A and B are shown apart, each in its own frame.
Chain A
Amino acid sequence: MKQDKGAKEETMSKDIETTEKKAIEKAEETTWAGQTYEPAVDIYESENALVLQADVPGVRKDDVEINLDQDVLTISGRVALDTYNGLRPVYSEFNVGNFFRRFSLGETIDQAAITADMDEGVLTVTLPKREQAQPRKITVA
């Protein structure tokens, strides 16, 4: 008979794999206590905008900060801890922490037109490109 060793994988067929959460090593990047993580991010560019999507599970809409200074975009999010109140950890496979990430943008962004949205732990930031200066036709008098 097979020995029961407690929790263990029985079946496993998957496409998605859990990858190690990327911890931020440089403490000076954030002023937060504890371990901070880099969220997985997709960035795509369309004709009019750059769009960034970041997985930030456990972060609520009001706990996200987005900052664009010159061409450096910073996103950070604090995870909600209230759902852990009164619980005792007995087994864990990952740690929980705030999220932080910084990018240099090549495009010129229209700061005032940036929009952001949170949906089930996914942050979407839309950064409209600033309209290019129109070529000016100079006529010789």
Chain B
Amino acid sequence: MSLLRFGTDPFDNILRLQRALTRSLEHPFFGLGTTPSGRGVYPALNIFEEEGGEAIVLKAEVPGMKRDSLEVEAVGNRLLVAGVREIPSPEGEFRYHRRERQAGEFRRVFRLPYEVDRDKASASYRDGILTVRLEKAEAAKPRQIQITG
């Protein structure tokens, strides 16, 4: 699957991303035959590989979090994403007409297909999107083998 390269046409860009994600819904890389809905455990994750294949980037939609209530931990080939989402009640008198957003705890441990270098792991949270970047551990990186015999 090719890298996403966006041009200046936003219509084209969104289609390109959606098609690429649709294709990877059944990609055998992680050996899962998942359903496209991502129904169930929270947060749903999308996983990308950087050019060169030395790092993977995980993205999750976790709107309305505070940074210090998000926990991300990478150990070996495991990634933990946990947190608590609070939706505070409005002040004063009010009544809800509609309540669709969910508050509560979540905790997800995800097994990666290879070991990652925990010293080089980094995470950011922006616009309600959690992004975790993990570099493969040295032992898991592709290397060229010289033919000597």
Count contacts between A and B, CB distance < 8 Å.
253
Cβ proximity bits B27-61 to A, threshold 8 Å, 1 near / 0 not: 10111101011111111111111110000110101
Q: How far is the CA of A102 from the CA of B6 in the complex (A)?
A: 30
Determine which of B41, B101, B125 lies in contact with A41 in the assembled complex, contact meaning CB atoms within 8 Å.
B101
Query: Which B79-103 residues have a C-beta within 8 angstroms of A?
Result: 85, 87, 90, 92-103
Query: Which A103-119 residues have a C-beta within 8 angstroms of B?
Result: 119
Are B63 and A56 interface neighbours, CB within 8 A? yes
B108 to chain A, nearest CB (A): 7
Are A41 and B100 interface neighbours, CB within 8 A? yes
Prevailing SS type, chain B contact patch? mixed
Query: Which A23-49 residues have a C-beta within 8 angstroms of B?
Result: 32-35, 40-47
Q: How far is the CA of A34 from the CA of B100 in the complex (A)?
A: 24
Stretch of A14-22, A66-74, A130-138 that contacts chain B: A14-22
Given A43-B96, A121-B127, A34 contacting B14 (CB threshold 8 A): yes
Given A5-B31, A34-B18, A96-B18, A82 contacting B127 (CB threshold 8 A): no
Are B112 and A7 interface neighbours, CB within 8 A? yes
Instruction: Say if the beta carbon of A76 comes within 8 Å of chain B.
Output: no
B interface size (C-beta, 8 A):
83
Across-interface contacts of A40 in B (CB, < 8 A) = 100-102
Q: How far is the CA of A18 from the CA of B35 in the complex (A)?
A: 13
Across-interface contacts of A46 in B (CB, < 8 A) = 90, 92-94
Contact residues of B with A, CB < 8 Å? 1-6, 10-15, 17-18, 20-25, 27, 29-32, 34, 36-51, 56-57, 59, 61-66, 78, 85, 87, 90, 92-113, 125-129, 131
Q: Report 26 cross-chain contacts, Cβ distance below 8 Å, ordered by A residue.
A: A9-B41, A13-B105, A17-B102, A18-B39, A20-B38, A45-B94, A46-B93, A46-B94, A57-B62, A84-B4, A86-B51, A88-B3, A89-B1, A89-B20, A89-B23, A89-B46, A90-B27, A91-B27, A91-B46, A92-B46, A93-B38, A94-B37, A94-B61, A96-B18, A96-B21, A122-B128
